[in-house]
Amino acid sequence: MHGVSGTSPKLEALRTQIQKIEGLPRTAEDILPFGLAHIDETLPWGGLPLACLHHVVGDDDALGASGFAPSAVTFVATLTARLKTQRKECGTVLWCLPRYKAADTLYGPALDTLGLSEEALVLARAKDETEALWAMEEGLCCSDVCAVIGSLASPLSLAAERRLQLAAERGGTTGFLLQPGLAAASASAAVTRWRVGAAPSAPPLWPGLGQTRWTLTLDRCRQGTPHSWTVEWCDETCAFRLAAPLCDRSLDQLPGQASAHERTSALRTVA
């Protein structure tokens, strides 16, 4: 599961100890797999760790200026819908968003097709970001909530993020911070940071639109390495798959070993 293999047992024990301190998952039920080997293998936990905070940033340049991040919103909605099915007994998603902003234009029927049905979703419309953060923290501590999504326009301070991260650890709930665009790469208390942007789709054999494609970038990841993929999102099965060119190439590569070409210039410090 870990990227580095064949190390001494001492180092392994140390690693375990650090993980315990950091409160990151050890068991399989604390992990949400993407169902896509390439991504799951890149993440040190074999999937998205639960009970912690994740940061998802929209990367649709032109749209982000208007405050929209449809790709990032759909990505998060998909993940939470999966999370909901994985955790059957507590299946409510709390979505905290500021009122009268672009974030508050979510369309119910579309969320429903993604798997977030009417019963599963509760929206909290906050007056400002302070209220939204308070609502997120309350939601993260609630045992009936499986995931909390917070749509925010401006980047959070490290202290605020840390607070949410602690609340997530305490409540065993997964939090997603959703931002339309990233102002600057700042320090973050979140365990992972993703950048999601629309990518041109492959033209289908018939007239019309092809499958939706996203450029999915793992900007930072605690204990892991940044990475970037172009994934295709299948509406019908609600599943990801690697976009065709990458798929073809990955056949003659060892799994989990990314080529230099795949890595983007977004490579920065490894958290």
Bridge partners of residue 31, in order along the sequence: 49
Binds other proteins (CB under 8 A): choice among 85, 134, 186, 256: 134
Residues 8-27 that bind other proteins (CB under 8 A): none
Asked if 153 interacts with other proteins (CB under 8 A), we say no
Q: Given phi > 0 = left and psi -120 to 50 = alpha, else beta, which region is 5? A: beta
| Min CB(97)–other proteins separation in Å | 11
Please choose, out of 40-48, 137-145, 156-164, 247-255, the segment that lies near other proteins by the rule CB under 8 A: 137-145
Strands 31-32 and 92-98: unpaired
Give every CB contact of residue 91 below 8 A, 6+ residues apart in sequence.
Answer: 84, 85, 120, 146
Please choose, out of 2-10, 139-147, 150-158, 218-226, the segment that lies near other proteins by the rule CB under 8 A: 139-147
179 with 77: CB under 8 angstroms?
Answer: no
User: Would you give the binding string for other proteins spanning residues 35-64, x where CB under 8 A is met?
Assistant: -------------------------xxxx-
Binds other proteins (CB under 8 A): choice among 55, 213, 222, 227: 213
Give the integer Cα–Cα distance in Å for 230 and 117: 28
Please choose, out of 202-210, 216-224, 240-248, 251-259, the segment that lies near other proteins by the rule CB under 8 A: 202-210
User: Would you give the binding string for other proteins spanning residues 75-114, x where CB under 8 A is met?
Assistant: x-x-----------xx-x-x----x--x--xxxxxxxxxx
Give the integer Cα–Cα distance in Å for 37 and 193: 19
Residue whose entry in the numeric block shows the structure tokens 């790709």: 71
| Min CB(21)–other proteins separation in Å | 26
Asked if 29 interacts with other proteins (CB under 8 A), we say no
Question: CB-based burial of residue 256 (10 Å sphere; 0-12 exposed, 13-18 middle, 19+ buried)?
Answer: exposed
CB atoms under 10 Å from CB of 203, counted, come to 10
Give buried/exposed letters for 2-29 (b at 16+ CB in 10 A, else e): eeeeeeeeeeeeeeeeebeeeebbeeee
Contacts with other proteins, residue ranges (CB under 8 A): 60-63, 65-66, 68, 70-71, 73-75, 77, 89-90, 92, 94, 99, 102, 105-114, 118-119, 121-127, 131, 134-135, 138-139, 142-145, 197-201, 203, 207-210, 212-214, 233, 235-236, 238
